[in-house]
Amino acid sequence: MSATTSSKSAAAIDRARDAGRSALICYLPAGYPDVQATIDAGIAMARNGADLIEIGIPYSDPVMDGPVIQAATTEAIANGFKVEKVFDVVRGITEATDAAVLVMTYWNPVVRMGVDTFARRLSEAGGAGLITPDLIPDEAAEWFAASDYYGLDRVFLVAPSSTPERLASTVAASRGFVYAVSIMGVTGARQDVSSSAQQLVADTHAAGADRVCVGLGVSNSGHVREIAAYADGVIVGTALVAAIRDGGVDAVASLTQELSTGLERVEA
C-alpha cells in the first residue's frame, strides 16, 4: 500500500493497534432518517467506541446491499436526500470527534458529480477517503489521480472469490486499509460469521496489506470478538441501521458500546 503515512484511516487503525486492539468501523447511510440524525448518530458512534465512521450515500441501485440497508437508503432518497449533503455529514462528524470519516458510495453518483470535484469536496469536508463497493482498481484510473492529489484513502474490496493475482493488485491499489468481504453475499445480519473470512484476511496480509478490516454479516460483540482476533478492524453496518430505525441515536450509541466490548484482544 502506498503513502500510508498520510492516511487518516491508517492512523485511526494504528491508534487502536497501539492500544492493543482491533479498530471498530461503524456504518450508517446519510440522510436516514434525516441528515442531522446521521450527524448526531455518527458523533454518538465515535464517542462510544468507533474508531472509524463509514457514511453511505443512498443510491437508487444498491446491488451489494440487503433489505435493511435498501429500505433505509430508499427512504432517505424519498425524503429528498441530495448527494452533496454527505459532505455536511462528514464535516459535522469530523468537527466534533477524532474519528476518521470515510464515505461508502456506489460509483455513479461520483461519476455524475465529477470524480475530481467529488474528491475535492470530500477533502475540504475533512473526509478520510472512499470505500467503493462497485469500483475495482481496473476501472479506477480517474480515482487514483484524484485520491493522490487530495490525499484521500481508497478502500477497495477483496472477496473470498478473489484470486491471488487480484488480491495482490487490489492490495497494491488500496490506501488506508483493505475491506475484506466475509462471505459471498450482500449486506445483512447473519447468525454466524463465515470461516472464509479468516483465510481471506490471512491471504490479504500475505499479499502485502498492512491493514485488513472485515465486513458483512457482523452484528454483535460476539462476532466482533471472533473477527478482532485476526483482523485489523471490524466493520458493522446493518445492525446499526436497524438500531437507528428502531431506537434512534440512543440505540446506535448503546449498540456501538456493546460492539466495542468485543474488541479487546484476549492474548493467550
Partner 1 sequence: MVDAPSTNTDNNPADAFLQGAPSLKNAPGPYFGNYGGRWMPESLIAALDELEDTFNKAKADPEFLAQIADLNKNYSGRPSLLTEAKRFSEYAGGARVFLKREDLNHTGSHKINNVLGQALLAKRMGKTRVIAETGAGQHGVASATAAALLGLECVVYMGAEDCRRQALNVARMQLLGATVVPVTSGSQTLKDAINDALRDWVSNVDSTHYLLGTAAGAHPFPSMVRFFHQVIGDEARSQILEQVGKLPDAICACVGGGSNAIGIFHGFLDDPSVKIFGFEAGGDGVETGRHAATISLGKPGVLHGARSYLMQDDDGQTVESHSISAGLDYPGVGPEHAYLSDIGRVSYEPITDTEAMDAFKLLCQSEGIIPAIETAHALAGAIKVGHRLTEGQANPQDTVIIVNLSGRGDKDVATAADWFDLLNEDGSVKGTNLSTRAPKGPAERAAAQEEMQL
Max Cα separation, the chain?
Answer: 51
Specify whether 95 is catalytic: no
> In this structure, how many other beta carbons lie within 10 angstroms of the beta carbon of residue 74?
16
- Bridge pairing between strands 129-131 and 100-104: parallel
136 counts as binding partner 1 under rule CB under 8 A: yes
Residue pair 237/50 in contact (Cβ under 8 Å)? The answer is no
Q: In angstroms, rounded to a whole number, what is the distance separating the alpha carbons of residues 99 and 232?
A: 16
Give 62 or 92: the residue with its C-beta nearer to partner 1. 62
In terms of CB distance, is 61 or 246 closer to partner 1?
A: 61
Q: Which residue has the cell 480515482?
A: 143
**Smaller CB separation from partner 1, 185 or 222:** 185
User: Rule CB under 8 A: is residue 34 a binding residue for partner 1?
Assistant: no
Q: Does 174 bind partner 1 (CB under 8 A)?
A: no
Catalytic option among 18, 34, 51, 54: 54
Catalytic residue of the set 40, 51, 65, 153: 65
- Determine if 150 is a binding residue for partner 1 (CB under 8 A): no
Minimal distance in Å, beta carbon 193 to partner 1? 16
**Least CB distance to partner 1 at residue 42 (A):** 21
Phi, psi of 55 (to 5 degrees): -105, 120
CB atoms within 10 A of CB 145: 13
Touching partner 1, residues 39-78 (CB under 8 A): 59-64, 66, 70, 74, 77
- The yes or no reply on residue 135 touching partner 1 (CB under 8 A) is yes
Q: Does residue 153 have an active-site annotation?
A: no
Catalytic residues: 54, 65
Binding site for partner 1 (CB under 8 A): 59-64, 66, 70, 74, 77, 82-83, 107-117, 133-136, 138-139, 142, 146, 156-163, 166, 170, 181, 184-186
